[in-house]
Amino acid sequence: MTGLVKSLSLSLGADSSAVYTAHREPYVAQLVAPMDDMWAAFSDGGAHHALLVEGEEAGSCSVDAEARLLRFFVLPAFLQHSEALLRLTIRELGVDHMMASTVDPTFLSSALDVASKVESHTLMFAPTVEAQVPGLEGLTVAEMGDHGRIVDFQVAALGAPREFLDPYSRGRLESRELILFEEGSRIVCVGELRPDVQQPGVAQVGVIVHQEERGRGVASQMLSSLVQRSRADGLRPYCSTEKENVGARRAIERAGFRAHHRILRIEHGS
């Protein structure tokens, strides 16, 4: 029977976001839990290609400027070709490594088929137990007039470039997604509560604490407040942090969150 097996033509489409965008709904539908929106944003900002079997759209992928494969999605009718399509993607796009999540069974399964090394990179949390700390009192929703000092605060606390933080914070302020905890006129902590536009019913939450105020338990209390606000709005809150960030993990867990999924860094052997 071997002589009757047809060799299929597998290929990649040109760099284009059209097919990637068209596949967004079926991609989200096959996730087993909400994806972290920061990594989703990285994927959206990458180079997008169609996966083709005999010239027919079989899926799509995203590779960023660091040669990380961030999304690899195959339509159900073509799942039997996943490994071959992944090997083609790695070879043709010069993929260095893959960032696959346990919420994404299609990508993760294919990545494990070609893996040479796997390690946890990011922990994804959901609130599943009672918080050990109360929420904060006296919180305010940040206004556009707070933009300059919030960016200054973020630059000092994170060390991230101002040219990124400036437009990012402006977008969050326009959507009223930043929550301030202040002592006098000094920002102690900034919380984020972002309704996820790609995953309805989900809120992505995060916290930044002033460097001099860390260790007081403010991060856990802000997260407790964000959980309460999310639930009051009918949203399910989620957050994440890198595995090595022990301090952030402790703060998140004190707020009642538990890690339920992972984003894995997977090196390939092909």
What is residue 4's predicted lDDT score, i.e. its pLDDT? 40
Residue 206: pLDDT above 90? yes
Nearest alpha-carbon partner for 193 in 160, 226, 169: 226
Beta strands 236-242 and 202-209 are parallel
pLDDT in tens, 185-200: 899 999 999 999 889 9
Whole-model pTM over 0.85: yes
Alpha-carbon span 111 to 85, nearest angstrom:
11
Determine the pLDDT at residue 88.
95
DSSP 261: E
The answer to whether 247 touches 214, Cβ cutoff 8 Å, is yes
**CATH code linked to domain 2-121:** 3.40.630.80
Q: What is the CA radius of gyration of the chain?
A: 21
pLDDT bin (cut points 50, 70, 90) of residue 270 is: confident
**Bigger pLDDT: 64 or 212?**
64
Q: State yes or no: pLDDT of 1 exceeds 60.
A: no
Instruction: Flag whether pLDDT at 3 surpasses 60.
Output: no
Ranges in the chain annotated CATH 3.40.630.30 = 132-254
pLDDT tens figures, 129-183: 999 999 999 999 999 999 999 999 999 999 889 998 999 999 999 999 999 999 9
What residue has token string 């019913």? 201
Distance CA 96, CA 109 (A): 18
Amino acid symbol at 144: M
Q: What is the mean pLDDT of the chain?
A: 93
pLDDT, position 228: 96
Q: 132-254 in CATH: which number?
A: 3.40.630.30
Please compute the mean of the pLDDT values over residues 79-83 and round it to a whole number: 95
- How far from chain centre, in Å, is Cα 237? 13
3-class DSSP assignment, residue 52:
strand
Written as six digits, the tokens of 140 are 């305010």
pLDDT in tens, 237-247: 999 999 999 99
DSSP-derived pairing of the beta strands 97-101 and 68-74: parallel
The predicted-structure confidence for 21-49, as pLDDT tens digits, reads as follows: 999 999 999 999 999 988 998 999 999 99
Spatial separation of the C-alpha atoms in residues 257 and 171, rounded to whole Å? 27
pLDDT at 7: 58
pLDDT of residue 2: 39
